[in-house]
């Protein structure tokens, strides 16, 4: 069956008890047994729940995987996957990665003896140099967050040796635009909070694999660590996933129109979007991906404070964390999603104060462009309200009406 058909029908059989077309929300923590050890496949919802199993079947089908384990969040899935390793093991990690991933690897996993080396995975020589005798995992984001760099999955897989795993975060592309398992990856991870759920109303994560042994270990970690998805969240994410094909086409169409508009403006220094011919890895995008997704990043000309002014001036683009919903969002990575990364490291990666990330929704592209135009026009590249205040010695870019104070201080909120 084609993708759109599988999205609607995989794991979505009518309820055997009532014939309900939609999988019910099995809001139960436990299941009655006819005798000790005799039950209908379910005994406790942390271990398995029919609503979650239906979603796992659906997501496995979309990623064309044999197995799927669903979690309470993307970071819950990351915690389980990294728990496949042991103290003393080493992970090579994409250096342009989500701030929460960086925080997990550097602030938590290192305390348990799991070492990490962050490296530019677009440079295979640098990746080879980062590999150690105890390297057990390659952690890939592609496209990366927020700089939209691409990692050649096949090339990375070719580097691994026996006992090593390649993990690919496929959140930005979704299974509709990219199939990492078909390119040789061992595990695919998603924050289903984003595009798969698609409506900014549910949190979840998932890990998919074709390897039966890995799947068994993930199931063990799922019930042992306990970061499992609730039946209600499973229902919401499954409902959202049914329209993934339609939404991704619209996200990508809108994003391309907006990226083209932004690239033509003199007051935008650089636009990061794989669908543009100017993207340094545009040809890799054409080979590896079936579409370019709905995320755009851009660096503005003018004082760095201008990005803060643009972020508070848009009307349709809501200033918010996260991405992948039907509504458009604007984000200031340095002070929001990537605030947990040290400034020197952010600057090295290009995550400057002048960088903005857009999650392009499925509204009218015409309206979205008009919104960005008015925000950019209202904040002159040479002098903005914030820069004028700075010149007068009274600027406070952490003004609560612009960016919440905790974010301006670099405290990660997501």
Q: Which entry of 169, 186, 210, 309 is annotated as an active-site residue? A: 169
Q: CB of 81 within 8 A of CB of 36?
A: no
Cis peptide before 352 (omega within 30 of 0): no
Q: CB of 156 within 8 A of CB of 140?
A: yes
Structure-block tokens of residue 208? 């998919």
- The residue among 331, 307, 301 whose CA lies nearest residue 385 is 307
From the CB of residue 23, how many other CB atoms can be counted at a distance below 10 Å? 23
* Location of structure tokens 């979205």: 368
Q: CB of 238 within 8 A of CB of 58?
A: yes
Q: Which residues contact 131 (CB under 8 A, 6 or more apart)?
A: 92, 159
Q: Which entry of 15, 43, 46, 270 is annotated as an active-site residue? A: 46
The Cα–Cα gap between 192 and 209 comes to 16
Q: Which entry of 194, 306, 346, 402 is annotated as an active-site residue? A: 194
Q: At 268, phi and psi to the nearest 5?
A: -110, 115
Residue 195 bears catalytic tag: no
Q: Which entry of 26, 98, 256, 272 is annotated as an active-site residue? A: 98
Residue 290 bears catalytic tag: no
* Catalytic site positions: 46, 98, 169, 194
């Amino acid at each position: 069956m084609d993708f759109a058909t599988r999205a609607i029908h995989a794991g979505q059989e009518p309820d055997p008890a009532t014939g309900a077309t939609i999988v019910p929300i099995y809001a139960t923590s436990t299941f009655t047994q006819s005798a000790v050890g005799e039950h209908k496949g379910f005994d406790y919802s942390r271990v398995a729940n029919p609503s979650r199993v239906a979603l796992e079947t659906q997501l496995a089908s979309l990623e064309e995987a044999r197995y799927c384990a669903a979690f309470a969040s993307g970071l819950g899935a990351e915690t389980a996957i990294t728990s496949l390793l042991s103290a003393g093991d080493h992970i090579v990690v994409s250096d342009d990665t989500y701030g929460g991933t960086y925080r997990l690897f550097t602030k938590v996993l290192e305390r348990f003896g799991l070492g990490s080396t962050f490296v530019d995975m677009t440079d295979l020589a640098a990746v080879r140099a980062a590999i150690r005798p105890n390297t057990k995992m390659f952690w890939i984001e592609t496209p990366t967050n927020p700089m939209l760099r691409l990692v050649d999955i096949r090339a990375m897989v070719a580097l691994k040796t026996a006992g090593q795993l390649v993990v690919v975060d496929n959140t930005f592309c979704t299974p509709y635009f990219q199939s990492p398992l078909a390119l040789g990856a061992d595990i695919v991870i998603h924050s289903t909070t984003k595009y798969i759920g698609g409506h900014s109303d549910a949190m979840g994560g998932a890990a998919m694999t074709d390897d039966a042994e890995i799947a068994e270990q993930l199931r063990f970690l799922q019930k042992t660590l306990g970061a499992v998805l609730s039946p209600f969240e499973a229902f919401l994410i499954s409902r959202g996933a049914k329209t993934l094909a339609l939404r991704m086409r619209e996200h990508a169409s809108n994003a391309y129109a907006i990226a083209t508009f932004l690239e033509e403006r003199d007051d935008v220094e650089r636009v990061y979007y794989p669908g543009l011919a100017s993207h340094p890895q545009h040809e890799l995008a054409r080979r590896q991906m079936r579409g370019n997704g709905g995320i755009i990043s851009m660096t503005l000309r003018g004082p760095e404070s201008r990005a803060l002014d643009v972020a508070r001036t848009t009307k349709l683009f809501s200033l918010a964390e996260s991405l992948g919903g039907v509504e458009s969002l604007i984000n200031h990575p340095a002070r929001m999603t990537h605030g947990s990364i040290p400034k020197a490291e952010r600057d090295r990666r290009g995550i400057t104060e002048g960088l903005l990330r857009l999650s392009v929704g499925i509204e009218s592209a015409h309206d979205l462009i008009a919104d960005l135009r008015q925000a950019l026009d209202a904040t002159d590249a040479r002098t903005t309200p914030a820069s004028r205040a700075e010149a007068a010695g009274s600027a406070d870019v952490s003004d609560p009406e612009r960016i919440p104070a905790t974010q301006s201080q670099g405290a990660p909120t997501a």
